Amino acid sequence: MIQPTVSLIIPAFDEAGYLPRYLPTVLASLRLFEEHTCQVGEVIVVDNASTDATAAVAEQLGARVVREPQRGIGRARNTGARAALGEYLVFVDADVEFPLGGVRDIVDTLRPGLCVGGAIPPEYEPNRAGTRLLVAAWAAYRRRFGGAQGVCQFATREAFGTVRGYREDMFMSEDVEFFARLTRLGAAHQHPVTHLTHLRVRPSNRRFERWPSWRIWWWCNPITANLARTSPRFWRHWYDTTVR
């Protein structure tokens, strides 16, 4: 068996309806990387206690499926990382359109050993003015304070292990907290994180389109996102009644 160079890890809870649209974009990016480099990679879907056909759909589309029975996106990402064989780890949300050159550019960025990891920025395309304003506010917040959302983050296996992955006791902003630790690690070793700003990942608009604007603003602003991050009760709607 040829050792994979890169592992793309996708946490998934009840994503059977979205995987047929978005998972092929990840697989296509990996195929392009393999064709151009004669190396191999893998796509791992972590079935996080789904109640639908998430696992079956992922396998049919060509991903390797591992299961994490305890709900939590940080835990699911860590489970995928433990199962991964690649030297480089890429974490992608299940409802994200991935850029065709994404895998190639991530590996090219990590291979020289000059950075510990990074992210591809998201590009949301909400239809309503209120949610477009929220997206702009988050973009300004990240420009001011740094950080990166978990829609697409990547790291070397060594760096991921050094910072001990994602916190499994956090139910919100675990991706921002992880990236902050990764950033500090890079700064300490003069191998800073990088943002591949020439690329974009495009998440679905499912919450933007189905939740009223007031609810989007209340739950998705930077202040609320940092409240009671370790409380499963406070964030139960995000896991138990999230839009699918």
Closest CA to 25 of 242, 203, 150: 203
pLDDT band for 241, please (50, 70, 90 cuts): low
- Whole-number average pLDDT of the chain: 92
pLDDT band for 138, please (50, 70, 90 cuts): confident
| Contact present, 59 and 47 (Cβ < 8 Å) | no
Residue 105 confidence (pLDDT) above 90: yes
**C-alpha–C-alpha distance, residues 228 and 171, integer Å:** 9
| Contact present, 149 and 122 (Cβ < 8 Å) | yes
Q: Count CB atoms within 10 A of the CB of residue 227.
A: 12
The CA-based angle 87-91-92, given to 5 degrees, is 140
Question: Tokens standing for 30?
Answer: 């990996």
pLDDT, position 243: 63
pLDDT, position 237: 79
pLDDT band for 92, please (50, 70, 90 cuts): very high
pLDDT band for 135, please (50, 70, 90 cuts): confident
pLDDT, position 59: 98
Check residues 14 and 127 and name the one with the higher pLDDT. Answer: 14
| Element holding 24 (H helix, E strand) | helix 19-37
Q: Summarize the confidence of residues 14-37 as an average pLDDT.
A: 97
Any idea which architecture 6-240 has in CATH?
Alpha-Beta Complex (3.90)
pLDDT, position 153: 98
pLDDT, position 221: 80
| Contact present, 149 and 193 (Cβ < 8 Å) | no
Question: Tokens standing for 124?
Answer: 């949301």
pTM above 0.85, yes or no: yes
Residue 117 class from Cβ within 10 Å (0-12 exposed, 13-18 middle, 19+ buried)?
Answer: buried
Closest CA to 203 of 61, 92, 105: 92
